[in-house]
Amino acid sequence: MTTKIKVTVPIKSQMQKEERLMKIKRNHWQARRLGRIAAPLLAFLVAFGMVMAMPGLNGEAGAVDFDKACSLTVHPGNEELAGDLEKAGVVIDLYQVAGAEPVAGHDTYTYSFADAYKSLEGIYGENPTDADWTAMAQGAAKAAKDGGVPAVTGAAVGQPMEGLKCGLYLVIARGSSLEEYWTSVTAEDGTEEVATIAASPAYTYTYMPTLVSLPSKEAEDGVINTAGPGEWLYQMDVTLKPSQALRHGSLEIVKTLQAYETKDPATFVFDVEAVLDGNVVYSNVVSITFTEAGQKKTILEGIPVGAEVTVEEVYSGASYTLVSEGTQTATIVANEVASVAFTNDYDETNRGGGSVTNHFANSEEEGWGWTPIPDSGADR
């Protein structure tokens, strides 16, 4: 048989009871206040293009030391991108958006926004969401783009930026060789967002603006909570997560017809194929038509940079013959137009004829189908 014993702890007096209730309410109010203060300082890594912020090794226990200098090391991307990113010349500009302000009676801090970023106070609020942090990063980036003064300019990636005051910082990654590195991207909701770019010979890297709070604490389950337990960390490492896209270039086909001796249009057809890293990345068939002797050119765009392009003249007209090489190659280079040239002459046969290039395309009205293109060339 089980005997249940109920233990009652007496309260000596009504006054003691009331004092006890007041103490419970006061502690509950302080806990709620701390929650309101600390919640905005939760990590906001995922929303701003960072993989994670890795703490340094020299964290200190106890209350945050606002006089202690911080350092931040930024890595431009993960290990898979590292080789190509070295060719992109990525550097870091760091803007101090806000200073750190102590919260009386609590081992945490809040922000005092700099004049150029005062507009962010309305977004910051008591409990900012991921969307709020994204809006703050966008607002800070727009202010920086419109003339903000960075605390650090053109810092090398992978090297610590030292001597930083406690506070909130905007991280801007950009290509050191680009005069215009600011750009915009379309968000999922259709709005335009500020971003920056860097470029290697083959790829364009797009970085979203990132906010980092210094000092911080060790991540727990991938989340950093500066109001949580643990040591304050004054040295931080951040790995950015850019998007990567192939750069594209152009190819020019130059066609020269030395003599025109027939009554029918003289059409010349070219097969174009581009290969990059063993994969066909571009394939097309184009034509150039003449009604008199002379020279015409056509430019093909949207071919990935670095691709090796092979152009073959597969049809030379009914009465004309090649007097140049029938197959030629070129390598696509950024900011340049690669070129191949073909020359034909009248072959004295006086045969009539012509050709049409069919382009396979999709339309909303008729779906996929063939569209005849009589001439891809244009007089230049």
Q: How many residues does the chain have?
A: 380
Q: 142: buried, middle or exposed (CB in 10 Å: 19+, 13-18, 0-12)?
A: middle
Residue 314 above 80 pLDDT? yes
* pLDDT category of residue 62 using cuts at 50, 70 and 90: low
- The mean pLDDT value for 308-312 works out to 98
pTM, two decimal places: 0.70
Residue 23 above 50 pLDDT? no
Residue 57 above 50 pLDDT? no
213-236 residue pLDDT tens:
999 987 666 666 666 667 899 999
DSSP 116: G
DSSP 239-272: EE--EEEE-EEEEEEEEEES----SS-EEEEEEE
Token pair recorded at residue 288: 């150039």
- Is 378 within 8 Å of 296 (Cβ atoms)? yes
- Is 76 within 8 Å of 240 (Cβ atoms)? yes
Which among 168, 4, 1 is positioned nearest to 97, based on CA atoms? 168
